[in-house]
Amino acid sequence: MSENAPRHYIDGHEISGGRLVNLIDRAEELRNGRPQEGSGALAGKSVALIFEKPSTRTRISFEVGVVELGGHPVVLRGDEMQLSRGESVEDTARVLSRFVSAIVIRSGSHENVVTLGEYASVPVVNALTPMFHPCQALADLQTLKQRFGNLDGLKLAYVGDGNNVARSLAVAGSLTGVEVVVAAPEGYQLESDVPAKLTDDPREAVHGADAIYGDVWVSMGDEETADQRRADLAPYRIDGHLLSHAKRETIVMHCLPAHPGEEITADVLYGDRSAVWDQAENRLHAQKALLEYLLAS
Ligand code: CP
Ligand code: NVA
């Protein structure tokens, strides 16, 4: 990387484990200081927030976060841009880099986000692709640190579809000393070279885990196979029975949106051991810390 190359956050490997821990500590500072606390890191700057797919948490937390850092968010749907009419990703990157100080993008094509990063002269942040969801994982690390005081040595059991969220947890966990175990059935498991332990047995996965983590069974883009997915993943529902195989103090996490009764039961989602609402809130703090870091000269 040349000295002037922008800092990106696309597959989660761009930031070292030590730096991730610093970012989480900063995110905690921002959380404790809110609403007064803000570095003004984005004063006088604009950030493009491009959403080619639906979003509640990511879109709102980035928009609010940019404002709280003193900047101006430019929120765009993919179909509002010439990108949707054939303008190239490369040219979009070149032009946006002349206007804004960072580009945050949720896209159905991971390759397009990588290309955007190659041609942009400002930081590019992955706000979810079919491959990765690194901003979610960052907020999840913050949630784990809040609950347990440290990351190194924790065990997180992801149960369900081996998808973008699972893959990003594996990356973030491997960088920070969190052991990630992914329990998924055949055909839904992550590739064998991800930095996680893979199993098809949910009970084995949750044994000794500090956190059990779930996500939807039908991710955006998977709608055509929804019925098959629901049938195949049914044994991987996070419910009281599965929790009985974990420790008493094990917490439950979910990136949301959830489908109570499908991948997680309502009693678990809304129960005492659920950390999901803190996870959602932490999207704001973690992403503010991320933007400060990416834009620091
Ligand atoms: N967890 C998450 O990314 O939620 P949204 O799809 O609502 O942004
Ligand atoms: N795996 C889900 C995450 C949603 C935040 C999806 O990609 O739709």
**Domains in the chain, start-ordered, CATH in brackets?**
17-132+283-294 (3.40.50.1370), 134-280 (3.40.50.1370)
b/e burial code for range 70-107 (CB count within 10 A of at least 16 → b): ebebbbbeeeeeebeeeeebeebbeebbeebbbbbbbb
Beta-bridge partner residues of 150: none
Per annotation, catalytic residue among 31, 57, 254, 283: 283
CA distance 291 to 14: 14
Q: Which of 217, 233, 170 is nearest to 198 (CA)?
A: 170
Beta-bridge partner residues of 155: 179
CA distance 261 to 8: 37
Closest ligand (CA of 256): 1
Mean pLDDT of 60-76: 97
User: What pLDDT is stored for residue 64 in this prediction?
Assistant: 96
Q: Is 267 a catalytic residue?
A: no
Question: Ligand 2 mean position to 216 CA, how many Å?
Answer: 7
Confidence grade of residue 37 (pLDDT, cut at 50, 70, 90): low
pLDDT, tens digit, for every residue of 146-174? 999 999 999 999 999 999 999 999 999 99
User: What pLDDT is stored for residue 158 in this prediction?
Assistant: 99
User: What pLDDT is stored for residue 2 in this prediction?
Assistant: 52
Confidence grade of residue 39 (pLDDT, cut at 50, 70, 90): confident
Q: Which atom of ligand 2 is nearest to the CA of 136?
A: 5
Q: Is 136 a catalytic residue?
A: yes
Confidence grade of residue 3 (pLDDT, cut at 50, 70, 90): low
Model-wide pTM > 0.85:
yes
Question: Ligand 2 mean position to 103 CA, how many Å?
Answer: 20
Distances in whole angstroms, Cα of residue 105 to Cα of each of 13, 29, 30, 215: 17, 26, 23, 21
Q: Which atom of ligand 1 is nearest to the CA of 280?
A: 1
Per the prediction, the chain carries an average pLDDT of 96
Closest ligand (CA of 137): 1
Question: Ligand 2 mean position to 33 CA, how many Å?
Answer: 30
Percent of the chain with pLDDT over 90: 96
User: What pLDDT is stored for residue 4 in this prediction?
Assistant: 76
b/e burial code for range 263-284 (CB count within 10 A of at least 16 → b): bbbeebbeeebbbbebbbbbbb
User: What pLDDT is stored for residue 269 in this prediction?
Assistant: 98
Confidence grade of residue 33 (pLDDT, cut at 50, 70, 90): confident
Does the C-beta of 126 come closer than 6 Å to ligand 2? Answer: no
Q: Which of 190, 158, 163, 189 is nearest to 173 (CA)?
A: 158
Beta-bridge partner residues of 103: 48, 124
Q: Which of 169, 175, 172 is nearest to 184 (CA)?
A: 169
pLDDT, tens digit, for every residue of 241-275? 999 999 999 999 999 999 999 999 999 999 999 99
